Structure formats: structure tokens, C-alpha cells
Amino acid sequence: MGKGSFLVGSIIGGHLGDWYGRQFLFYMCQLGIVITSCMTTAARDWQGYSVCQALNGLMYGMLEVESITLLMEYTNNRWV
């Protein structure tokens, strides 16, 4: 479940970053990861745990795409 949502987050993360702004989405994904991690530790059953882990994987996938893209935009072309 976590790896599948990571894949989906990686696919849609670039499009959402183009629409809403990469830096905004970067910070929102970090906030979402903190929230879903806390929700995962507080889950009382396996269904809630699975949903929280799926959301966590989705945000990690989007965060990975946004962080790599932001690094490529902010660094000099000399380092490419």
C-alpha cells in the first residue's frame, strides 16, 4: 500500500507542483507527512493504519519530486 501510493504521489506530484507552485506544495507535503505520521501512531485498527500509511506514502512521493525539481531550479547549471 505504501509503495503504490508513493508511485502515485511521484506521478501526480509534478503536475500539482506546476499548478500550485513547487515551494508551496513542498511545505504542504512536509506538514502532511508530520500529520499523517502522528495519525499513524494513533491508529486503533488496521484500516486506519492503512489509510494513514497510504496518505503518508502519497505525500512522500510528491515531496521527492518537488525537492528534486527545486534543487535543479536553484542550483547553478555548472553542477548539472
The DSSP string of 39-66 is HHHT--SHHHHHHHHHHHHHHHHHHHHH
**What pLDDT does residue 78 have?**
72
Domain parsing of the chain, residue ranges: 2-79
Show pLDDT as tens, one digit a residue, over the chain (80 residues): 768 899 999 999 999 999 999 999 999 999 999 999 999 999 999 999 999 999 999 999 999 999 999 988 888 777 65
**What pLDDT does residue 76 have?**
77
**What pLDDT does residue 3 have?**
82
**What pLDDT does residue 8 have?**
92
Instruction: Record the pTM.
Output: 0.84
CB 59, CB 79: distance < 8 Å: no
Q: Please give the Cα distance from 25 to 58 (Å, whole number).
A: 12
**What pLDDT does residue 74 have?**
87
